[in-house]
Amino acid sequence: MKTSETIEQHLRSLLAEISGQQGFSLDTPLFRGGLELDSLSVATLIAAVERDFGIAVAEEDLSLASLFSLRTLCQFVAARKCCRSR
C-alpha cells in the first residue's frame, strides 16, 4: 500500500503531466484559479487514479469537494485505499 507521502507524490506527478503545470501547492485549486482542469483532464485523472492505485472511483463516490485540490484528492485516494485493504 502506498503511504500518504507517496500518494501525494504520485498524484502531483499525474496532475503535472495532465495540466502541464509544475510547482503547485497542496491547496492549489484543480479547476478555476488553479490548474484549470477541464472535463477531459478530470476523466484522464480518474482513469489514472483507478489504474495506478487499484481503486474503483464510482461517480457517486466522487464529489467536487474531493477534486478541489491536490490535498482533497490525496485524502480521497487514501480513504479509498484504506477501506479497500480491510
**Per-residue model confidence as pLDDT tens for the chain (86 residues):** 467 789 999 999 999 999 999 999 999 999 999 999 999 999 999 999 999 999 988 876 777 888 999 999 999 999 887 765 44
Sign of CA dihedral 48, 49, 54, 60: negative
Give the global pTM. Answer: 0.86
pLDDT at position 84, please? Answer: 58
pLDDT at 34: 95
**Helix, strand, coil distribution of the chain in percent, nearest 5:** 55, 0, 45
CATH T-level assignment (fold) for domain 4-84: 1.10.1200
What's the length of the chain?
86
The ranges assigned to domains in the chain are 4-84
Count of CA atoms in the C-beta half-sphere (13 A) of 43:
3
